[in-house]
Amino acid sequence: MKASVVFHGDCDGVIAAYLYIKRFYRDLYPHGLNLVVTHPWRAHIDITRSASGVEELVIVDIALSEKLADTLRSISTKCKKIVYIDHHESSSSLIPKIEPYAKVIYAQVSSTPRLLTQFMGTPLNPYENVLVEVADICEGRTPTSSTDRSILEIVDSVRMSVAVNPGDLDFMKYLIDLMVKARNIPQDPLVRMRVRRAKFLLNSLLKVLSEDSLDVGRIKMSFLDLPMSRAFAGIIGVAATELSKAYRKGIVLIREEQDKVVITVRSARRDALELSKQIASSLKGVYGGHAEASSITIPKEPVGSVVSKILSTVLGVESTS
Ligand SMILES: [Mn+2]
């Protein structure tokens, strides 16, 4: 393998990986490239693994953390070239830390594919252009009345088919291959099957979350225990976004995982990152994301106690339980 491309397992992450490959690694694709899908909380592990034996390492759409910055420093001795491409607001303060070791392409724009188009300079073809629009909408940009319906269909297809299992590398490769071949994504049978499954899960989850939630001022809080969290996995982020739109409230969704607790925050008032920062500092966690959508990872503790801590220390209400 000559190069590894490590990308975020979400809609704009997979589209950004495709764009980068198409522009810069067309000659290496597919057999000379090691594709790796990851998520911010385990990116340092996946990146360390994918750095061995390759000359170039490209990191796409992964919010920077202290841990990740340290990882890049330690692998910079093994890799000839490290490229870091990201648009997350929370990465900003750590960028200077990695600049000595990596080529950094960073700006706080609507999506990582949008950032890539600004960096590439050369105009995109219509197929690529549509996918950049799709990525922007997946990342929260509101479609306008002039947005083509076919674009919204692709948004739905990519977002939902990826969400059903965001760690599924085989499917990510399949999706990138469809894009490289400029195929019609919403018409693809495998994509359609996954979208159907994702929608079924999403509807069930929305029902559970809206029936079982706690309203605190402008915030709606809900939680999922380990079995529920496993069953719905990648759909949880999509559900949080939908709930925030449906109730016009900020959403704080707490879920238990095997060895940690993850808190998903959504806000239409653009204070998700600020709220995440407060939750992270009160619960000793790591946070990252954007003003509309962000998350916090904290060490494992009972979900009930996380709920009471957020209520008392962050939202300023005394828990009754
Ligand atoms: Mn992303």
Question: Tell me, what's the pLDDT at 1?
Answer: 65
- Per-residue pLDDT reduced to its tens digit, 170-206: 999 999 999 999 999 999 999 999 999 999 999 999 9
Dist. CA 45 → ligand 1 center (Å): 18
For residues 200 and 188, give the distance between their C-alpha atoms in angstroms, rounded to a whole number: 19
Tokens of 145: 């009345």
Tokens of 141: 């940009």
Q: Can you tell me the mean pLDDT for 260-269?
A: 94
Dist. CA 258 → ligand 1 center (Å): 23
Question: Tell me, what's the pLDDT at 315?
Answer: 87
- H helices of the chain, in order, are 11-24, 43-51, 66-75, 95-98, 112-120, 126-138, 149-163, 169-180, 189-211, 226-232, 235-247, 272-283, 303-309
Dist. CA 157 → ligand 1 center (Å): 16
Flag whether pLDDT at 307 surpasses 80: yes
Contact 61, 32 (CB under 8 A): no
Q: How far is CA 253 from the centre of its chain?
A: 16
Tell me the three-class secondary structure of 165-213, residue by residue. Answer: CCCCHHHHHHHHHHHHCCCCHHHCHHHHHHHHHHHHHHHHHHHHHHHCE
pLDDT-wise least confident of 127-131, 199-203, 215-219, 313-317: 313-317
Q: Can you tell me the mean pLDDT for 7-14?
A: 97
Dist. CA 162 → ligand 1 center (Å): 11
Neighbour order of strands in the sheet with 250-256: 213-216, 219-224, 250-256, 260-266, 293-299, 286-289
Q: Can you tell me the mean pLDDT for 205-224?
A: 93
Dist. CA 13 → ligand 1 center (Å): 5
Flag whether pLDDT at 313 surpasses 90: no
Question: Tell me, what's the pLDDT at 320?
Answer: 55
Dist. CA 320 → ligand 1 center (Å): 37
Dist. CA 227 → ligand 1 center (Å): 25
Dist. CA 154 → ligand 1 center (Å): 16
Dist. CA 61 → ligand 1 center (Å): 5
Dist. CA 40 → ligand 1 center (Å): 9
Dist. CA 321 → ligand 1 center (Å): 36
Q: What is the pTM of this model?
A: 0.89
For residues 156 and 150, give the distance between their C-alpha atoms in angstroms, rounded to a whole number: 10
Dist. CA 304 → ligand 1 center (Å): 29
Dist. CA 113 → ligand 1 center (Å): 10
Question: Tell me, what's the pLDDT at 213?
Answer: 93
Question: Tell me, what's the pLDDT at 319?
Answer: 52
Dist. CA 312 → ligand 1 center (Å): 31
Q: Which domains does the chain have, with CATH numbers?
A: 3-187 (3.90.1640), 207-314 (3.10.310.40)
Tokens 């909380």, residue located: 41
Dist. CA 282 → ligand 1 center (Å): 26
Amino acid at 86: D
- Determine whether 126 is exposed, middle or buried from the number of CB atoms within 10 Å of its CB (0-12, 13-18, 19+): exposed
- Per-residue pLDDT reduced to its tens digit, 268-281: 888 999 999 999 99
Tokens of 82: 């490290």
Flag whether pLDDT at 321 surpasses 60: no
Question: Tell me, what's the pLDDT at 317?
Answer: 83
